[in-house]
Amino acid sequence: MNNDQRELLAELDDNPAEPLARGEVILVGSCLALGTALLVALALLL
Amino acid sequence: MSETPQQRVTRPHDDAWALAISLGVVGLALFGLAGAQPLGWAARFEEWVIPAKAVRPVAWEMPGWLSLAATIAAVSAVLTARLAALGRPLAASLGASLAVVLLGLGAYLLGHQACVAATDDRKFILPFRLGLTGEAGYLVALAAGLVLGNLFPRVANAIAPAARTELFIKTAIVLVGVSLAAKTLGQQAAASRVLLRGVAAIAEAYLLYWGLVYLLARTVFRFPREWSAPLASGISICGVSAAMATGAAIRARSGVAVLVSSLVVVFSTIELVVLPFLARWLLPDHPMVAAAWMGLAVKTDGAAVAAGAVTEALYHPGPGNLMVATTTLIKVFIDLFIGVWCFVLAIAWQRWFRTEPSDKVRWMEIIERMPLFLVGYFLAFLGLMFLGNQWPATLGGIKLVEGQTEAFRKPLFALAFLSIGMATDLRRLASPGMGRLVLVYLVSIFGFIIWMALAISWIFFHDIPALPVPVTP
């Protein structure tokens, strides 16, 4: 592990993450909704 | 986060080499269509008690030892040429290549020892029999790689340039394309079913895994976005290549994807050792569910396809089965989606999260991120399918083509296993600051990904036989 990587990990421990933004909620929500819909639809079709 | 040169879309060097080598092998093997076998000298490994009977050539009349020597020389020469083309000294390149090939093939040969491999009591008189088939050689190669990489790191570092998991596995995947075509020709129903179910299985697995891992990383483990996206892609999609491509797509600092990738390699090795045996225990009567499970659950192409090979060995459903082909197919489709998904992420990041002005996301990035070896896979698979369907008289020739390519596919898997072991740095898990990353990986993989993958595999593959059922007119 080089110094840059050590610094990245240290920064990760020091800086708290920002809360979920609206864009992330849309992205994750779309993934889960579309994934579930596809699973149900394809399982019924095939 | 400013863009660095490493973040531009670049195609890995091994990708082009894998395409060139595999197409070279397939090109030569294609003479089989005319009844000739220019690769008939290649070594075929057999179960053995007397070492002299461990190897025989694919087709030519020659001693087994000569066939083995020719195979070692040919594979070493190609690896040496690659290293020399990269500007490494010739002598060191030859030494490293020869060491990797000897270790990999030696381990594969050991795994064919009858006490380990034999599945039939009538063939040998043995004191005991593990019945793991010759594919046990892959596990011997993995163990050799782990010992070398973790206990003798200096030796491992010296030969590491020749131990390229991605090169070996991508070349082998193109050859699996030949094998899939040869196995399913004349049985289009079986081929279409596996193809269709494979696409269906990954379509939702991709979306569900990514969404859940991202959510977990951001909310429970409090990772910033720059870490969460490569983590979600690396853990949920396809390991190293997905983590790297995602890092580049969202313009994360290059060290982030590198750290995530180092964990992916360690955990995919653990999955590779554990999941095939778990599958055999949980699903004794459903080999195709097990094969699909390996493709959907084990990360990185190398470990996934390798896990498929071990799983096939544990079930040994017989020659002509579709198990490894199914695992490979699922992994190949997952790879196809990496470019598309990174394009979506790049647009999302540009629209919602990037504070500085940056370049426009280009459609061409989808093509640029798509692994090149996939071209070879589909060329081999679809080309032979077309040939066999249009001219059924070529079916015998296609079997000869497959016989020659299989002689290289299996040793390439062995080399991939050795390389995976060598690259698995178990000390990385204990590095300071890695705790939270290790934890999110553990919770995601063993908490829900492998179980969701099992459920999806069951839904789509529980009614498909491992051996295609011949269609009677």
Which has the higher per-residue pLDDT, B384 or B254? B384
Give residue-wise pLDDT tens across range B125-155: 788 877 777 778 888 998 999 999 999 999 9
pTM across the whole model:
0.79
At B351 the pLDDT is: 83
Among chain A residues, CA nearest to B228: A17
Percent of chain B with pLDDT over 70: 92
For chain B, how long is the longest CA-to-CA vector?
A: 73
- Report how far residue B209's alpha carbon sits from residue B231's, in angstroms, rounded to the nearest whole number: 11
Interface contact B259-A38, CB threshold 8 A = no
Among B7-21, B338-352, B395-409, the least confident range: B7-21
Whole-angstrom distance between the N-terminal and C-terminal Cα of chain B? 64
Facing B200 at nearest CB: one of A1, A34, A46: A46
Among B86-95, B348-357, B406-415, the least confident range: B348-357
Contacts of A14 (CB under 8 A, 6+ apart): none
What residues in A contact B434, CB-CB < 8 Å?
9
Question: What's the mean pLDDT when you consider all of chain B?
Answer: 86
Which band of pLDDT confidence, cut at 50, 70 and 90, is reported for residue B358? low
Segments of B52-156 assigned E as strands: 55-57
- Report how far residue B373's alpha carbon sits from residue B379's, in angstroms, rounded to the nearest whole number: 10
What ipTM does this complex have? 0.94
Section B35-64 average pLDDT: 92
At B471 the pLDDT is: 53
Interface of chain B against chain A, CB under 8 Å?
196-197, 200, 203-208, 210-212, 214-215, 218-219, 222-225, 227, 253, 255-256, 258-259, 348, 351-353, 428, 431-434, 436, 456, 459-460
At B216 the pLDDT is: 94
Element (H, E) at B309: helix B301-315
Substitution target in B207, B231, B458 with the highest count of A β-carbons within 10 Å is B207
Substitution target in A39, A44, A46 with the highest count of B β-carbons within 10 Å is A39
Predicted confidence (pLDDT) at residue B436 exceeds the cutoff of 90: no
Which band of pLDDT confidence, cut at 50, 70 and 90, is reported for residue B40? very high
Task: Return the CA Rg of chain A.
Answer: 19
Section B172-177 average pLDDT: 88
Listed residue (B441, B451, B453, B457) closest to B235, CA to CA: B441
Specify which of B391-400, B423-432, B462-471 reaches the highest per-range mean pLDDT.
B391-400
Give residue-wise pLDDT tens across range B210-251: 999 999 999 998 899 999 999 999 888 777 778 888 888 888
